[in-house]
Amino acid sequence: MRSNLLSTVLLALLAACSQPSSSSAQPPKSALPGPPLPSAARRAPTDAAQVKLSYAPVAKTAMPAVVNISSKRVVRQVDPFFEQFGLGVPRARVEGSLGSGVIVRSDGVIVTNNHVVEGGQEITVSLADRREFPARVVLVDAKADLAVLKIDASNLPTLAISTDEDLQVGDLVLAIGNPFGVGETVTNGIISALNRTDVGGGSYIQTDAAINPGNSGGALVDMNGNLIGVNSMILSRSGGSQGIGFAIPGPTVRQVVDTALGGGKVVARPWLGVSGQPVTGDIAKSLGLDRPEGVLLAGVYPGSAAARAGLQQGDAVLTVDGQPVNDEASLNYRIGTHRPGDALSLTYQRGGSARTTKVTVEAPPSRPKDQQLIQGANPFDGAVVLNLSPASAIELDLDPFRSGVVVSDIRGGFSANAGIRPGDLIEQVNGRRIGSVEDLRTALQARTRTWSVVINRGGQQIQATFQA
- Rounded to 10 degrees, the C-alpha dihedral 26/155/56/221 comes to -20
**Contact partners, residue 65, CB within 8 Å, separation at least 6:** 102, 103, 128, 156, 157, 158, 159, 219
Task: State the Cα–Cα distance between residues 442 and 268, nearest whole angstrom.
Answer: 34
Task: State the Cα–Cα distance between residues 216 and 114, nearest whole angstrom.
Answer: 9
The single-letter DSSP state of residue 255 is H
In contact, 274 and 300? CB cutoff 8 Å: yes
The two beta strands, 185-196 and 172-177, are: antiparallel
Among the options 145, 208, 315, 424, which is catalytic? 145
Among the options 115, 208, 236, 275, which is catalytic? 115
Closest CA to 6 of 199, 144, 197, 192: 199
As to burial, measured by CB atoms within 10 angstroms (0-12 exposed, 13-18 middle, 19+ buried), residue 89 is exposed
**Contact partners, residue 44, CB within 8 Å, separation at least 6:** none
In contact, 385 and 457? CB cutoff 8 Å: no
Distance of CA 311 to the CA centre of its chain: 27
216 is catalytic: yes
Q: Helix H segments across 309-368?
A: 328-336
**Contact partners, residue 317, CB within 8 Å, separation at least 6:** 274, 276, 294, 295, 297, 311, 325, 331, 346, 347, 348
Distance of CA 44 to the CA centre of its chain: 35
Q: Is the CA virtual torsion 267, 127, 160, 213 positive or negative? A: negative
164 is catalytic: no
As to burial, measured by CB atoms within 10 angstroms (0-12 exposed, 13-18 middle, 19+ buried), residue 11 is middle
338 is catalytic: no
- Say which amino acid occupies 416: A
- Residues, the chain, total? 468
Strands (E), 106-184: 109-112, 122-126, 132-141, 146-150, 172-177
The single-letter DSSP state of residue 436 is S
Q: Is the CA virtual torsion 321, 323, 324, 329 positive or negative? A: negative
Among the options 216, 236, 275, 408, which is catalytic? 216
Would you please indicate which residues are annotated as catalytic (active-site) residues?
115, 145, 216
